Chain A
Amino acid sequence: MKRKFLPLERYHGLALVCWFVLMFLFQTSSFIPRLVAAENTAIIFRSQQIAAYNEAIQGFEEGCKGKHISIKTVYDLHGDTEEGKRIIRTVKENKSKPDVILAVGVLAATLAKEHFPDIPIIFCMVINHDRFNLQGTNITGISSEASIEDQFSVLKEILGPHKNIGVIYDPEKTRKIVAQANTVAKQFDFNLVKSEVLLEKEVESALKNITHKIDALWLIPDSTVITKNTLNSIPRITIGSRLPIFSTSDAMVKAGALVSVSPNYKETGIQAAQLAQMLLTNPATTSLGIQQPNRLKLTLNIQTAKTIGINLSSIQSYPDVVLYPQ
């Protein structure tokens, strides 16, 4: 039997309809991820319950609003490794996986990296993140310290160029930072006077040894140098020698340091939300590397400035300046 094919002209209208249907389906498919994004979930691991972490989480929550990211749960690891592991195991066992994880603090970041290799992780508020190998294809982070350039530019604004800046550090913990700072210091016409310590008890003598050689002390976040004991003794010695302390922690300013340049914790949370949105809207990108904080705050100790005779009026007009005592 001879089969006849229908002439195309006769089905012209049908073809047009099919064409429109196909185009509709194609257009619809391109909007699917955005529609799905609205359904994105995030969970937050908080290392422990401290105000700075809470501020960052608060910022993240605010940042997620209007970005179709819903925060499912905030888990507190209580600063305990074992408990943290237990909590994370529980989360892993849950069938509904989050689309993105925010890890606040070093404990949360290290545990999340270990247990969630296939979910994008954003960490923040990790002191000296370089030490903990927080790098990976699914790891994005925000540094908890201002860049050395930012710190030195403020220092130059206060002290002027051609100054000897002292730094006490434990080479096992912060050698990399000091090596980097040594290079940056030359750009700012600073001479970095380095003093290595291995134990907490060596800090005071090391400080006394370099006191007469330096114009300011740069206090980096080193757990050998900054301890509960030295938090009080270092400012006592430097103020006695009329030396300003420059740090990355407003806690140090409250203890007697002159100035600190640190991230605005809430803004760090907002920045983390922006990074989360970027990761979720582009699933092919799983890591954005380590970002510098978008917004910094300057904490000044007016009382210390008065004691050692330094005029801070030039930088008091900066935005995001916090004066202490308030």
Chain B
Amino acid sequence: MIGIRTKLILLMGILVVVIGILCCAFFLNHTKRQQEEALKKFGTSLVMLLAQDNEVAYALRSAQEAFLDAAINRLRDLDREEEIGYLRISDNQKVMVEEKTPKINVNMEEIPTRKTLHKQDAATSHSRWARGGILSESPDFSPLTELYCDKIKTRSGEVFCDFFAPVFEKKTFSEEEFAAQILGEYGVNAEEARSVLGFVQMGLSHHKLNERTRKIIWQSIVPMGLGIVFGGMCMMFFLTTYLVSPLRYMANITLDIARGDLTRTVDIRSRDEIGRLSVNFNEMTRSLKTSHDEKEKIMAQLRDHIKDLYNTNKELKETQERLVRSEKLAAVGKLASGVGHELRNPLGAVKNALFLLKKNVSAAHVQSESQKVNTLMEIIEKETDRGIKIVNDLLGFSRTAKPTVSPANVRTIIESSLSRIKIPGKIKKFVHTEEPLPPILVDVTQIEQVFMNLIQNACDAMPMGGSLTIRAQKEGSSVLSTTFTDTGCGIPDNVKHMIFDPLFTTKSNGLGLGLAVSHSIIQRHEGRIELESQEGKGTTFTVKLPIATT
């Protein structure tokens, strides 16, 4: 992309150069014309002096060439720069004197004489001076009676201003001629009636003129042209800088604004279009900033609203989940209570009956088949115990008794829980507790049940063995955190969110009530139970309970 500055510099550079050339050409032409005019005036003066010289008239009248010497010498004295190239004085019959300057190569035969001039085409335009030295152009004059000037060029390349003037027998005072013209017809043609004694012809060489012109070219025109170009260039740089700098400055500021910095303003205080542009630009930036601020304000409000909405939604969802869980728990509890209550008594009766049967059979009657009967009876007892346990669990789940809290040491609860669970030998257990641990206000029985559930689940997750790490530590000043970490199979991500739901289990012989009961108990203690699990690596349950305040 070509910038404005480059374009301006190119355009104005061309313009300045063209103006410089035109000025030089004009000045050169003018100078040449002035020089030519000066040469013509000088030649006219000289030739008129010679033509009006009384001695010349006398010499022509008496046909004495010798009388011309003094007049010619006077003329030569006036020609200080030796511009006279040739001189010819003739009477009406013959050429009396013909001279040429030795320095100038000119063949006098090439110079037109009076006769050849007289024969020239009448349509040819010549410069002619009327009386008084005023130049006029006329195609139809008689060269015999009036001064005229013509430019001639010889075969050798020399250029001359050729002056030709008649020498009159008598010269009339010009004002008297005018008076004769005004006062009557008799004087009008007086001039024409004058007799011509002869002619003087003189050529001024152009070599001095050319020298002067060359001098002027080198001393005036070339410096002037360079001055114009240099001055023009300076002005051009100044102008382009003056015009483009504010634009460039504004472009940079525009870029900053585009990047978001709306505090930038243009500081141009001129009263021209650029100044007005900067004022408008600043106005626009201010408006933009105001709009942007308003937008930011609205956006912040919107973000707050979204955040509130999100939190509300989250709370609503949690509430809904809790509600669903509560409803589910309530339904399950009701079912469990009913089923448990209905099954508990039959199962108790079965167990009692089995106890009596076992006592009688073992005494004497079925000695021979006692081994087989004992085996069947043990199966019945075992399954009955299991049914009782299930019923107890259901009843335990259905009971929503408010915990009876008392200060307790968590390490004691952990050790109690571990002692009540039979942990396989291939599972290594580690217990780490911070000392001293603050007491917690809990229902020890219920918390033991929770810990037992978590320990049992950890053991179930490691059928091939592993390690169980139980860690108890303070979290802040109000929470005691107890973690149960196993290196078991872990819990898949897609079931993590259902793990605390009642009747959900991943175990083949589980009822799905352990974690649901544990979650319910911890909630009742105003604590939290959290799950972190990575499938294939293990699971960590964290129980957070409030520390007892003294």
Report A's interface with B, CB cutoff 8 A.
47-48, 50-53, 78-84, 105-107, 125-127, 144, 199-201, 221, 223, 226-228, 231, 248-252, 254, 265
Contact = CB atoms under 8 A, between A and B. Distances in A.
30 contacts: A48-B172, A48-B176, A48-B187, A50-B184, A50-B187, A52-B183, A52-B184, A79-B170, A79-B176, A80-B172, A82-B54, A83-B170, A107-B173, A107-B176, A125-B179, A126-B179, A127-B175, A127-B178, A127-B179, A144-B183, A221-B182, A223-B175, A223-B178, A226-B182, A249-B183, A251-B181, A251-B182, A251-B184, A251-B188, A252-B182
B177 A200 contact: no
B2 to A, nearest CB: 52
Contacts of B172: 48, 78-80
A294 to B, nearest CB: 18
Interface in B44-61: 54
B138 to A, nearest CB: 9
A283 B175 CA distance: 33
Contacts, number: 90
Interface in B250-274: none
Nearest to B52: A82
Contacts of A106: 173, 175-176, 179
A48 B136 contact: no
A81 B177 CA distance: 12
A50 B183 CA distance: 8
A50 B179 CA distance: 9
Contacts of B180: 48, 50, 79
Closest 5 CB pairs of A and B: A52-B183, A79-B172, A223-B178, A79-B176, A249-B182
B181 A226 contact: yes
Nearest to A106: B175
A120 to B, nearest CB: 23
Contacts of A52: 183-184
Given A50-B187, A53-B183, 20 more contacts: A47-B173, A47-B179, A48-B187, A51-B186, A52-B183, A80-B170, A80-B171, A80-B172, A80-B173, A125-B179, A127-B182, A127-B183, A200-B136, A201-B136, A223-B174, A223-B178, A226-B181, A227-B181, A251-B182, A254-B185
Given A82-B54, A200-B130, A201-B136, A251 B185 contact: yes
A189 B169 CA distance: 51
B190 interface: yes
A107 B175 contact: yes
A305 to B, nearest CB: 21
A80 B173 CA distance: 5
Contacts of B176: 47-48, 79, 105-107
Contacts of B401: none
Nearest to A78: B170
Interface residues on B, range: 20 to 34
B364 interface: no
A105 B170 contact: no
B134 interface: yes
B186 A81 contact: no
A199 B171 CA distance: 22
Nearest to A81: B173
Nearest to B179: A127
B439 to A, nearest CB: 128
Contacts of B136: 199-201
A248 B181 CA distance: 12
A231 B189 CA distance: 12
Given A80-B171, A80-B173, A105 B179 contact: yes
A170 to B, nearest CB: 11
Contacts of A53: 183
Contacts of A227: 181
Contacts of A249: 182-183
Contacts of B178: 127, 221, 223, 226
Contacts of B188: 228, 231, 251
Nearest to B188: A228
A242 B447 CA distance: 140
Nearest to A126: B179
Given A107-B175, A127-B175, A251 B183 contact: yes
Interface string B150-173: 000000000000000000001111
A54 to B, nearest CB: 9
Interface string B186-210: 1110110000000000000000000
B402 to A, nearest CB: 128
Contacts of B177: 79
A125 B183 contact: yes
B142 to A, nearest CB: 13
Contacts of B181: 226-228, 231, 251
A82 B174 CA distance: 13
Contacts of B173: 47, 79-81, 84, 106-107
Nearest to B176: A79
A292 to B, nearest CB: 17
Contacts of B170: 78-80, 83
